[in-house]
A and B are shown apart, each in its own frame.
Chain A
Amino acid sequence: MSNKRSFKEHSELFTLGAICILLCLTASLTGCGRAQASRKDIIELSIWSMWSGPEEQNFLRVLRRYEELHPNIHIKNLGAVSDDTKTIRALVAGVPPDLCTLSDASYLGPLARNQAVLSMDKMFQESGLKSADFVPSSLNLCRYKNKLYGLPFLIDDEAMLWNKQAFREAGLDPDRPPKTLEELAEYAVKLTKRDSEGKITRLGLRPPPDYWVLMALFGGRLIDPVTGKITPDDPGNAAGLKWYKGVVDRVGGFSEVNAFASGFGRDASASNPFYTGKVAIMFNGEWNPYWISRYAPQLDYGVAPIPAPAACPQNAGTTWLGGNVFCIPTESRHPKEAWDFLVWAQTEEAQVMFAKDMNNVPNQLSAIRSPKLRTGPPFRAKYSIYLDLADGPKAKFFPALPATNLYSSQMITSVDKIMLGDLTAENALAGVRVRVQKEMDK
């Protein structure tokens, strides 16, 4: 009995002691925290960004440089927020980061429409930034109803890449890329190879990542700049899709082409279908020259602007822009500091530093023209073609609208139906207009 009792007393004492120790520890820890927070000169800026893995490291390097230059700012980065709906939920809940990226710029319209992100026009004017210094479309990409709601930090664009070895095998001149889309269609058919069973082993033209640039090459528009109404059924858009349908039908049809495409390896790897020769021509982004130097250094290839149709030579040099858009949530706790960072991100130093690591296109003209990005490793020569395209006047983009997401997804579905022959291009696109305009008018 007495033994048990003493044990019990002991254990109580022990518990009490443990609690005391824990309390002391907590007190000292919170004390630490308080000591740090009391240094008022340091401001902690929280950023949610889309990059992960090595790309996140590149972004962190940029942030560290900014901290070096601004010792009063400490930046806390949350990486890999590639799902923007996550950010949007935080916005709705009233606990947003101070600054965020949009990995899908089509969310900008809905955010801007509901004033969930700050309008930047006033800050832009006061900061001394000049619109003329930007790649023009890169700023328009961030505009909703002519007001600025974001700033870009590097952009993407598209060009044509062709496999010279495949050209030689098909009896084509490897140093003469197609000059018109009509010619490209002929090439695509000639370059497509089949095995003895009739199965495709090489596709002349890889299914494009999107059809926007094709539509733009035929002069198609997604929106009427005067009325602000959407124009999916613009004759140019239909012409672009019909052109692609023509190519697809001549090499086996949409289902067969997509079935072959579903066997493609990951783009960011040595099994990228263009690097392995499974496709001979593709429309793709500016990161390819660097990737090829890394994953397929032996590949013999060329880069050129995507050719225009013979009937629209004035559209030669058209490219399609995407961008890394940064927004400041309306409830950001440090909007001024967030803005200061964005202004710094426009300096030549920041642009060149990030572009060099990411192999994306800067959105500042001074950086695009900087020799630092055009010299160095041999792949930079082909990368420069992308820089020049973005610098040109014909860089098109998807406009920010209250229903951009719905619009682009309806377009993609209607493309399926057009390619399969369910609907004519005109009918399918007119259907998109009715459905999306109805949503926009709500």
Chain B
Amino acid sequence: MTVFAASDKKTPPADDPHGRMARANRRDTRTGLSFVAPWLVGFLIFTLYPIIASLYYSFCDYRVLSPPHWVGLRNYIDLFTDHDYFLQSLWNTAFMFIELPIGLVLGLAIALLLNQKLKGMAFFRTLYYVPSVVPTVASSILWLWLLNPDYGLVNKSLALLHLPHNFTWLNDRVWAKPGFIVMDLWSVGGGMIIYLASLQGVPQYLYEAADLDGASPWDKLRHVTIPSISPVIFFNLILGVIGTFQYFTQAFVMTGANGSVGGPANSTLFFSLYLYQNAFQYFRMGYACAMAWVLFIFTLIASAVVFKTSAGWVYYEGEK
């Protein structure tokens, strides 16, 4: 709004031909603003205000049912001294980062396979992409059956292949998190489809030039394909980092059958899940807000690190 006030003061003389222009510009701005107003109002009320409010509440003891009162840094101090739960949830979330490189490589490998010019490729592309369109809650329920130690398809298939097949998956604190990773890799198609799109954009002349230089398929992959699609790998990596920090739905839906959510013995109590419990089950909203800000800072740092290193391995066309 101050923008308008400033421009009003500078209204040029009436004979100035630019005056009409300025007025027209202003009118355009107003029209434009009124068109984006629904989004803008929504953003201010439902996004910006909650963000600022959560920062304030993170310094308060806030029981939801009674007004918040200021406690300074106590929530943050409690967080980092609460070893059993907070640190456990951090560790659980950190463990899930194992999934990130596996998912990236697997997604790329499938994309490379699906990039061949073969008959019926559209069918296979659809097949690999479909799992990532299934809503997370639905796929979680499905995998609850697939991972069932007693009659689940995963153990049965392993048995058919004469592999170890007595995994207790979600019922065992060692195998619960790997169970989630196996499940998530099923929907690797989301990243795959982006790789596939970018693979088709790699200029053909680069491969021709490499052929002339006598490059092997591996060399072409290593020195042509991967550098050319590195911005997309970078994109998937960033999304993966953020997604891993926010890991929630699968654990919320799939655990808790034999006790509390996040079990057994807190082995699937991910950061966001513990945050949710504090906010909505234990009425520790201030504590939960502090957790949300810690999560935000961690995500920010991790993303910044990835961005910093990206200069060394991400190549944009048109850059030197």
Contacts and interface: CB of A to CB of B under 8 A. Distances in A.
Nearest to A406: B282
A91 B66 CA distance: 11
Given A110-B63, A255-B168, A412-B259, A263 B281 contact: no
A415 B65 contact: no
A416 B266 contact: yes
Instruction: Summarize A's interface: helix, strand, loop or mixed.
Output: helix
B244 interface: no
B65 A416 contact: no
Residue among A114, A256, A258, A442 with max Cβ neighbours from chain B (10 Å): A258
Interface residues of B, number: 32
Interface string A245-278: 0000000001110111111000000000000000
A256 B266 contact: no
Contacts of B262: 413
Instruction: Summarize B's interface: helix, strand, loop or mixed.
Output: loop
A88 B149 CA distance: 38
Contacts of A431: 84
A345 interface: no
A254 B172 CA distance: 9
A442 B68 CA distance: 13
Nearest to A407: B282
B229 interface: no
Contact of B258 (A207, A403, A420): A207
A259 B171 contact: yes
A145 interface: no
Nearest to B170: A262
Interface string A391-434: 00000000000010110010011011100101000000001000
Contacts of A92: 64-65
A111 interface: yes
Nearest to A116: B65
Interface in B257-307: 257-260, 262-266, 277, 280-284
Contacts of A113: 65
Given A258-B258, A405-B282, A412-B259, A263 B149 contact: yes
B149 A420 contact: no
A259 B151 CA distance: 10
Contact of B65 (A91, A256, A258): A91
Nearest 6 A/B pairs, CB to CB: A263-B150, A114-B65, A416-B265, A259-B149, A259-B168, A259-B171
